[in-house]
Chain A
Amino acid sequence: MLLPYLLFSIALVGLPVLISFGLAFFKYDAISPPIWNGLFNFTETFSDPLFKIATLNSLFFVGLAVPLRLFGALLLALLLNQPRRGTGLFRAAIVLPTVIPDMAYALIALWFFNPFYGPLNIILKTLHLPAPFWLTDPTTAKLALVLMSLLQIGEGFVLLLAGLKDISRDYFDAAAVDGCGRWQIFRHITLPFLRPWLVLLTFRDVILSFQSTFVPGYVMTGGGPYYGTFFLPLMIYEEAFDRFRFGNGSVLMLFMFLLTMGLLLVLYMLFKGWGHDDA
């Protein structure tokens, strides 16, 4: 019964990962047969100035977006946890932007951040706040992409809501009897119980944030301006599908894979440390 699932998982995930491992050592353009290239693809890729830019951009995005997204999802889950009249509607509103197709979402954001037509700058101008040019400036373009990712936190929000529901009421009642304040309850009951979900979400969000920059980077800014939104997935795409350098593309894929795993390992260590004082 598991056969189709396992078989096709190997064919569509296992095999591709293995091939890309090998391909990193070859010069291959998908037309002529692959030529052994030793470590040349690695040295060439790592000395490419764009490689450094793409890596730093990706790390900037992940470093800023992941904590903000988690914090936002947690706050909203705490706020909308109590069953009250109308809470269902509020919850639905929060999840709504998450279900919008990436392509449509990118187009809406493109218009939203437009300095003249977009509602964001119109609001900022009426409030007499500085209205930056957003997507046409390398720094604000990156921030704009982070901002738009902050509305798509539905998954984490739902998972944390479910996590909160899973905590038995008895604990809160006992704490209230003992005269614990809200902060104490949050610190000593809610947070420790949510910890496994927060860890899971952080891991998932790191992985997703590395790759979710592709559609906005490709559709909205094309990696610009001045490579301000040039992220690793976009670089992989350009190496492989614009320049037909599949070997170099594989090197980048491996690098991104190892970078993600490395980050997860660091986070894992951090979370383990965090676990001790509230266990």
Chain B
Amino acid sequence: MPKRLQTALYYITATGISLVFILPLVWMISASLRQTGQPPPRGIEWIPNPIMWDNYRRIFEIIPLIRYILNSLVVAGSAIPITLLTASLAGFGMSQLGTPKRSLLLTITVGLLIVPVTSLWLTRFLLFSWLGLIDNPLALIAPALMGSSPLFILLFYWTFRRIPAEVYESARLDGAGAFSTWWYVALPQSRPTAISVTILTFMFYWNDFINPLLYLKSEKFYTLAVGLQQLQQLDNTNWPILMAASAVMIIPTLILFTILQPNFLSDERLSGLIGH
């Protein structure tokens, strides 16, 4: 096949596939701007007529959306520093251990990664209710104490392993203890990892629907995910309103994804992701 034809084929296929992945979002935006109560469109409606920016104002009146957004931000905002602290400490601790202990901890961490969350719902609920944490936002933040996800611990562990042993050794010879080595030597070298973990942690808590559903009762603590469900229960066929609210929930994620994306998707980073 001639090279030029090959290139053309590549771009046609890649564009076509990308559109499949993006179009639902584009249509969601256009659906969110439709006038409520209009009959179904006859064809794909790219730009609704009239354009109802007002839908985005109305969702804030139908449910206390600002409060829900703030709640979500508070939960994610408190979980991020705790997660960074626990995960980087654990990752650093693991990177400094000798082989048998390290392999054991790696096995435990991977084991934690494959425990299905569904097998935790019920007993965590009981645990939290014995501790009086039901209907308390603290129940939502609790996973941060174990680093939110074992994956984050592994990410830090991989980063710290890549720092040459001599660097740690010279810090030790200078009389630095474990904690000061972690703080002054290891952490400053893990900026890209810390940024990735921060963003992933934010998404983890911002997206979380199941935990607030299980552990929260009062409306005043609701996070945005539960608020969206509330909106759906109020009027489950009011598509413009539902799509506008979904768009509001997606926007912060999209912004963060745009920031994070070169960290994961560029060729150089991808080669370093697994690395030897």
Complex-state Cα separation, A70 to B94, whole angstroms:
31
Instruction: Mark out the residues of chain B between 113 and 147 whose CB falls within 8 Å of any chain A CB in the assembled complex.
Output: 113-127, 129, 142-143, 145-147
A156 contacts the other chain (Cβ, under 8 Å)?
no
Q: Which of B13, B42, B85, B121 contacts A79 (CB 8 A)?
A: B13
Complex-state Cα separation, A72 to B146, whole angstroms:
33
Q: Are A20 and B123 in contact (CB under 8 A)?
A: yes
Complex-state Cα separation, A83 to B126, whole angstroms:
51
Complex-state Cα separation, A240 to B118, whole angstroms:
12
- Which label, helix, strand, loop or mixed, suits the secondary structure of the A interface? helix
A162 contacts the other chain (Cβ, under 8 Å)?
yes
Interface residues on A, range: 35 or more
Q: Which of B14, B142, B146 contacts A90 (CB 8 A)?
A: B14
Contacting residues, chain B, for A16 (C-beta < 8 A): 119-120, 122-124, 127
Using A1-B90, A126-B43 as known contacts, say yes or no to A108 and B24 having CB atoms under 8 A apart. yes
Chain A: CB-nearest residue to B41: A122
Q: Are B146 and A9 in contact (CB under 8 A)?
A: yes
Chain A: CB-nearest residue to B262: A88
Q: Which of B25, B118, B178, B229 contacts A103 (CB 8 A)?
A: B229
Q: Are A17 and B116 in contact (CB under 8 A)?
A: no
Using A30-B129, A107-B228, A253-B118 as known contacts, say yes or no to A151 and B94 having CB atoms under 8 A apart. no
CB-defined A-B contacts under 8 Å, sample of 26: A1-B90, A1-B92, A4-B145, A4-B146, A12-B120, A12-B145, A15-B127, A17-B119, A19-B127, A88-B266, A94-B17, A99-B257, A100-B25, A101-B203, A103-B246, A107-B243, A108-B25, A117-B239, A151-B20, A161-B265, A165-B271, A204-B113, A214-B118, A232-B118, A241-B214, A257-B116
List 10 other contacts, CB 8 Å, given A8-B146, A96-B257, A214-B118.
A9-B108, A12-B146, A17-B119, A17-B120, A90-B17, A101-B209, A102-B225, A107-B246, A122-B40, A165-B274
User: Closest 8 A-B residue pairs measured CB to CB?
Assistant: A1-B93, A16-B123, A5-B90, A93-B18, A101-B207, A8-B146, A104-B246, A162-B273
